[in-house]
Structure 1
Amino acid sequence: MSELPSGWADFEIGEIADVTAGGTPRANDSSNFAPPGEGIAWLTPADLSGYNRKEISRGSRDLSQKGYDSCSAKLIPKGSLLFSSRAPIGYVAVAANEVSTNQGFKNFTFPEGIDPSYAFYYLKSIREIAESLGTGTTFKEISGTTAKTLPFRLAPAREQTQIAQKLDELLTQIDTIKTRISAIPTLLKRFRQSVIAAAISGRLTEEWRVQNPSDETAEQQITVNEVLKQGKLKIRKADFSFERDDLYAIPECWGWIDNHRLAEDSSTAICAGPFGTIFKAKDFRTEGVPIIFLRHIGEGFYKTDKPGFMDESVWKKLHQEYSVYGGELLVTKLGDPPGTACLYPNGIGAAMVTPDVIKMNVDERVALPRYLMYFFNSPICKKLIEKLAFGATRLRIDIPMFKGFPIPLPPLKEQKEIVRRVEQLIAFSDQIADKVAAAQVHIEKLTQSTLGKAFRGELTADWRTANPDLISGNNSLDALLKSIKTAREENANKPKKCRLNTGKNTGRHMNKETITVTKALETAKKPLTGQQLMAAAGYASDSTTEQLESFFLDIRAALEQKSIVKVSRDENNQDWFILSDKK
């Protein structure tokens, strides 16, 4: 811990706060729960996932009185700190009213004189420390005993309030900046889409066309080029047709061109990968010729993660016609919608496509592969594809559709200018995106550094100098500690309050002595849920925090010793335990 300001002190949190765990009733009994606001407020760590406010009043569902009475959940008072102790460790919120929690929390109830907002921010500042103390193989968790040892730095009461107020102000400003910056990636995506939409409609090069009139239309260029072709790419009549009304207006020198007319003169210039009889998983290898799956096609970029490989000898014998070598257009046949496109990179060697990926060798005498990629990735093209795609569970396009798909094609010279301008603008947006990502990292660090300054006393250094009387005498930390000690001693001597109308029958659930979970499973001779195992081992459903901790430690030890095994959760989200085969 860092150096303390004069008049501050460090403690273990259990020295000054009461630590309370929670509980969960049987999940497969719907009568244990109630809609939010109609029962007893109850939270799980999931209720704090993505939750950004300081206080919380209830979770996504309440406990019914029956559910509350049947488990170890306890009501904790307003102002208590809810601290998730597993899945994950370190979510924090202040109870806005009386609440209960499940066993995924260790909750701290502080005495009068400790500002809940101050405690909230301090617990947020030590999340990494708490995570480092977590133990467990399935997931990290901090026990009740460990939770009591978490550090807690205490300032005089009036200074706590000052620190909390300053953090409210500073962190609100940081959160505002964070929100504004987090919106920029969405704006950049819209910007890129608007650039591409302008490109494939002719608006991006409208002035350029006036200054650089074309001698030939796109149709004329293609017609001249087709004279040189031998018709090796087979075309059959497509099962669809586009009405002129389905297409949008384009400049006069452009043309709506069927896609197959832009392919090289080759029988496999447009094709997908091989099917069933020759494309078999038994020929996959950990190295060899890369296989291009749907997951490798990004919107404008090729992904190399999670690679798969074909046996090289099988590839040479059966799959070279389905292969790419660099610069080919790759388009997905499946998707929502299909039609996502990228180029296969140059210089990384040969690869082959699967049946779900179309590869196209573009005839660069009349069309640029990169122009076609931008068109297929445009929102306009996605809408056109949605009209054609078929499939009950997942939309798809087929090869005839792809060959006959209409392309809004400019003359070749204008395509080059369009691609140049699009890439220039996208590169500019990428630079902004990089700066945004760096700023987001900096802001995340700024939050923690601000918390660090607060609990080193740096934010209130001037305030302490100006207000010595507010941190001394009756306002000093020593006076506060005496008050806390007196209050805790008085509470310790008070009889514990019992819940009313519990309806419990603890004699049915608790033995005079507990047994190990291994012994309980041996006696039961069948799998047990966590709740059933707890009862079989002799623990009451309203066991104390210490008893629950003993039970969970016993489970952990048995799992580590491999005398029992935890199997997957059922549809009611319950863990089941069985004896190990080695037992």
Structure 2
Amino acid sequence: MSKEWKEVAIENIGEVIGGGTPSSKIEEYWGGNISWITPKDLSGYNFKRISKGSRSITDLGLLKSSARLLPKNTVLITSRAPIGYVAIADKEVSTNQGFKSVILKSNYDTNFIYYLIKKNVPALEAVSSGSTFKEISGNSLKKLKFKIPPLAEQKAIAKILGDLDAKIELNRKMNETLENMAQALFQSWFVDFDPVIDNALAKGNPIPEPLQAKAEIRKKIRSEVGILPESQKNIQKNTELAEVFPSTFVFNDTLGKWIPEGWEVKTINDVTTLIIDHRGKTPKKLGGDWVENGHPAISAKNIKKGNLIRPDMIRYVDEEMYEKWMKDEVEKGDIIITSEAPMGEMFLISDKTKYCLSQRLYCIRANETDSTSSFLYYWLQSDIAKGDLEGRCTGTTVTGIKQSELRKVSVMSPDILILQEFEDKLSPFLERKNLLQKQTETLIQQREVLLPQLISGKVKVPQSLVQQMKEE
């Protein structure tokens, strides 16, 4: 570490600000133009900038609470439940009282301080206090001291780490686009029933009243040359596939809606060959312990919005423990679903990684004669399936679904030829998503190795880059 690195207290690099919450009973305080960030908004959050939370407040709500309007580039730090989630405000925002935020002075780089805090979460936890839950006070945060280099070197370090984060974010956005494309195809075929409506219109068959609005849209699409969706062009070219889609609807009492004639409604028990359930297992219960490297053990906290998150929270077991734990191994195409806290988050296994299933997870394997993994994965995310899953949950403080109830969840069962075609069309999306996910994991590992070395000064940045930062 260079002698130019100086030990500085947080109170000397910027102003520490707490948050606040307007009264939930006064409607006029909520739904305004001021983004209001809570620790939950940063849960599973990978990239460093945030511009909005799940809720917003009005100017009056801001005035009538202890919340402050924080300027762009304020460093947001969760100070309780949990401590140490960090983000940078990408515009003016406010926070609840779960934050201690730092408005930096001009001679400190926002991105560098962001990475500095991320690397030093244990230091924050060490000065926290509390019995029910730990919290770091404003005064405790202010007194924390860290070694900080001159501004140009701060910027150089932040650029190296930031370039990695930018690649991670680009991959995330590309994966989001691929996921939206897959969701759109599922919606068209199995929720809006576009191919069935097209067949019904072509044959002059009646359209049920709840589907009339969609039928009118399809009429317009069919009459305007060149705007037929690509998925429908493919069906038109594939006569055999088009004929497999029905041309009439029947009302299904189980789902409480009109579905294509001939399509059945089964249960998860009917359309799966295996449900792996190791929700209560731990290494110690099996006579062992966690190890530094080996087979990754994922839990509910690692599954969010179809992705594996929080790689820093993934633990490992050795081969002996894996064989004891996973009598049935996870396979490519299996669906991981969280059973509680929260229930219903899902992840589709798209490679041959030998995952060990830890707390609050089920693994579901589709029976390929009645369903397919991709269809079942997207069906379980549909509004109908989510409502069914939630309706079968039990519990007071924490709600969850038992395996016996999970097996009863309804699953629509179209013709297997249609499902196989759906699987074929989704394969390129899922393969690309998996490749991007693996690239992202590698980038995250690189960042996690470099972060402590650069922030501590153990690895020096090139002087040419420092000079570039001085000139900008």
TM-score, structure 2 as length reference: 0.44
Considering fraction of residues, name the structure with more strand. Answer: 2
Greater gyration radius: 1
TM-score, structure 1 as length reference: 0.37
